[in-house]
Amino acid sequence: MRVLTALMNVSLVLAQLSGMVNQYSPVMSFPGPGQVEVLDPTLFAPGDRILVYQAKGATIATTNNSTYGTIINLGGAGLFEFANIQSISGATLLLNCPLTRPFGDPTTDAIQVVKVSYHTTDVSVDGQVYAQPWDGKSGGLVVIETEGTLTLNADIKVSGQGFRGGVRSQNQNNGSCGSGDPDLFRDTTWFGPADMWAGNKGEGIANWPSNQHFAHRGKLANGGGGGNLHNCGGGGGGNYGAGGQGGWTTCACVANIYAYLIQSPVGRGGEALGGFLAPSDPRLFFGGGGGGGQQNNGEGGHGGNGGGIILLRAARLVSNPGAALVAEGTTSSHNLGPNCANANTASSGNDGAGGGGAGGSIAIYCPTFTGTLPISAQGARGQHASWETCPCIGTPDHGPGGGGSGGFVAFSEAALPPNVSLSLGGGLNGQERTPRNENANGCNNSGNSNCIPPGSARFDRGATPGDPGGTLLNLAWTPVSPCPLALLRLVAWETHMDPAGRVTHPYKLQSDFPLTEIALDIRPLAAKQTPYHLTFPPTLEGTLTYSLPAPGTYEVTFSVRSPEGPTRLLARKLITWEVPFLLEGQTLRLQASEAEPFALYDALGRLLAQGSLYPTQPLTLDLSAYPSGLYLLRLGQRAYPLRLAP
């Protein structure tokens, strides 16, 4: 005869996130109220939680003067709204409520649908989470929602995944300053086509008005302007603050006249967007891209990318050491090809450098914070020019890039949460690393003239840092989620197990919509054991019962299905079925999970055997000397009846 009993351990397993947790598709049109046509409907399913986000749509001044790129009307740039998919018809998502925010034209304003990483229970970030980089149509956002606790064990990082930096000018061999006519280099061109003469503008919340506006010094809303003509640096991208301007041309190009030098047509920094922000009208912006530098020796620098967007909602946010939210701008590190700055690819060589990208945006809807949470949306440094490895015998006299501005962080609460530390500084400007007559890095270049007075200006060459970022409090929720979220919640889920491995799960659900099925998936953690799937009637309260095939540890998931939606995972837990003793014939085998005493009694209560059990020392008792009948085995504080067969 064989008698088994069991010890049961139960532990909850959170939904665990890492890598890219969202999916993205450009919006093609809005066919009707509550309808969104997307490029790739296969990414979505009925019941999905989505975010509609508009990246562009601002109107800018286009006059060929210093006002170029100034924002006239913000339009729908930065708008976002949550919704739920009720059904899908072809490429059209039919939503459970009409959208209420004034989104623009999907054909011009870069509107996308993001599949939200949505959870009804606790969730943890256990490996770095990031976005699909912005490609001009979609990507750039990490969006996570949970009705429970969001625990950060690793970073959520979208640095450089926002608006793209402008590329350097196409010029490779021409465009030197020639005669040194200073009037030629007080260039008044603020926009023009991508060509050999000027770096491209960094990307921003406004579109390029036409292909005649890709390049030159004017900002593109919060995108930095490109450096004009000979070796001017690109401007930094903007977000909450303005980006810094790029660095000046070479002294020889202005006949070594300092008064003309400071009028160099450098890339202007991207415009500040902080003045357009209001808590009642929530908007989030990608960090502006830095402008590209001008080159004539094939050694110019590209602009850096802006930071992306992090959008979180949770009942509680727990941050553990080593985890952070990061949406920083970046300094371009493109491999620029053979040049004197190869030892530092985040630098131009003997040409104009690119501007730094601006920090991105982070919004957190959460009333309770636990732990210390570092948050960074810093702007990036502008590129250096003529890095230390450039030869001293060259002509190091080139414009560095402007710094990108800091981004912003918005909270739903009225005060900054405790133990949250913010890094929102603007990026430093780049520098000319081997300026003439400064003995920089061992390079005197004393044979070359320098029209800049001695000192720090020879290193900065007019390039400036980006402005710092900022914060926003009392961020409104109703405008971005006007349709009530359908309730589906697992209120209770208990676990009990009998000695033979029979499991019962009393449970209780709350749901605003009908359910068609409750499902349990039981996955053994031991190798070579087969998982299995169980389904049950969709009652809101009851008990689910099944038997485990063998002792061991199992992962059990609780899911439901609705008539119009996919399977929704509500909870996950680990259960362990341990066998502390085994009676086979007249042999009793004992195995403890922890050190504990044991004792064996007959039916009259007389002690027959006693001792101590240890986890690594199984014990075998020969009971052949005892008559058949009832006995009592005590393990620690637990008692089990045994019956010896004749």
The pLDDT, as a whole number, for residue 441 is 66
Question: Residues 96-109: what's their mean pLDDT?
Answer: 95
- Distance separating alpha carbons of residues 261 and 422, to the nearest angstrom: 38
DSSP state of 259: H
pTM: 0.82
Question: Given a cut of 60, is residue 338 above it in pLDDT?
Answer: no
Is 3.50.50.60 the CATH classification of the domain at 580-644? no
By C-alpha distance, which of 98, 456, 53, 453 is closest to 257?
A: 453
Lowest mean pLDDT among 13-22, 234-243, 372-381: 13-22
The angle at the Cα of 88, spanning 138 to 478, to the nearest 5 degrees, equals 65
Lowest mean pLDDT among 255-264, 340-349, 391-400, 588-597: 340-349
Question: Given a cut of 90, is residue 440 above it in pLDDT?
Answer: no
For 135, residues 6+ apart whose C-beta sits below 8 A from its C-beta are none
- Distance separating alpha carbons of residues 198 and 607, to the nearest angstrom: 97
Question: Residues 516-528: what's their mean pLDDT?
Answer: 90
- Distance separating alpha carbons of residues 341 and 335, to the nearest angstrom: 10
By C-alpha distance, which of 7, 16, 5, 4 is closest to 569?
A: 16
Question: Given a cut of 90, is residue 189 above it in pLDDT?
Answer: no
Look at strands 111-115 and 23-29 and give their pairing. antiparallel
For 470, residues 6+ apart whose C-beta sits below 8 A from its C-beta are 240, 241, 274, 406, 408, 424
- Distance separating alpha carbons of residues 143 and 321, to the nearest angstrom: 22
The pLDDT, as a whole number, for residue 640 is 80
The pair phi, psi for residue 478, each rounded to 5°, is -55, -40
Q: For 32-81, write each residue's pLDDT tens digit.
A: 989 999 999 999 998 899 999 999 999 999 999 999 999 999 999 999 99
The pLDDT, as a whole number, for residue 623 is 93
- For 156-293, list the strands marked E by DSSP: 156-157
- Distance separating alpha carbons of residues 516 and 536, to the nearest angstrom: 9
- Distance separating alpha carbons of residues 482 and 34, to the nearest angstrom: 12
**In angstroms, what is the C-alpha Rg of the chain?**
33
Lowest mean pLDDT among 363-377, 403-417, 479-493: 479-493
In single-letter form, the type of residue at position 423 comes to S
Residue 3: pLDDT band (50, 70, 90) is very low
**Domain boundaries 486-578, CATH class:** mainly beta
Same topology, domains 486-578 and 580-644? Answer is yes
Contact present, 7 and 500 (Cβ < 8 Å) = no
The pLDDT, as a whole number, for residue 2 is 35
Contact present, 172 and 349 (Cβ < 8 Å) = no
The pLDDT, as a whole number, for residue 8 is 44
The pLDDT, as a whole number, for residue 185 is 57
The pLDDT, as a whole number, for residue 593 is 72
Question: Given a cut of 90, is residue 248 above it in pLDDT?
Answer: yes
Centre a 10 Å sphere on the Cβ of residue 517 and count the other Cβ atoms it contains.
14
The pLDDT, as a whole number, for residue 176 is 56
Lowest mean pLDDT among 260-274, 297-311, 362-376, 516-530: 516-530
Higher-confidence residue: 48 or 616?
A: 48
The pLDDT, as a whole number, for residue 595 is 87
Write down the domain spans for the chain.
16-158, 486-578, 580-644
Average of per-residue pLDDT values in the chain: 89
The pLDDT, as a whole number, for residue 429 is 98
Instruction: Please report which helix (H) or strand (E) contains residue 166, including its range.
Output: none
How far, in whole angstroms, is CA 311 from its chain's centroid? 8
Lowest mean pLDDT among 396-405, 534-543, 582-591: 582-591
The pLDDT, as a whole number, for residue 179 is 47
The pLDDT, as a whole number, for residue 109 is 97
Q: For 557-610, write each residue's pLDDT tens digit.
A: 999 987 766 678 888 889 988 777 878 889 998 877 778 899 999 999 999 999
Question: Given a cut of 90, is residue 388 above it in pLDDT?
Answer: no
The pLDDT, as a whole number, for residue 181 is 57
Residue 81 burial (10 A CB sphere; 0-12, 13-18, 19+): buried
By C-alpha distance, which of 197, 173, 210, 188 is closest to 66?
A: 188
How far, in whole angstroms, is CA 137 from its chain's centroid? 17
Q: For 17-35, write each residue's pLDDT tens digit.
A: 999 999 999 999 999 989 9
The pLDDT, as a whole number, for residue 583 is 83
Residue 4: pLDDT band (50, 70, 90) is very low
Question: Given a cut of 80, is residue 446 above it in pLDDT?
Answer: no
- Distance separating alpha carbons of residues 205 and 73, to the nearest angstrom: 11
DSSP secondary structure, 340-367, as one string:
TTTT-TTB-SSSPPPPPPPP-EEEEE-S
Q: For 621-631, write each residue's pLDDT tens digit.
A: 999 999 999 99
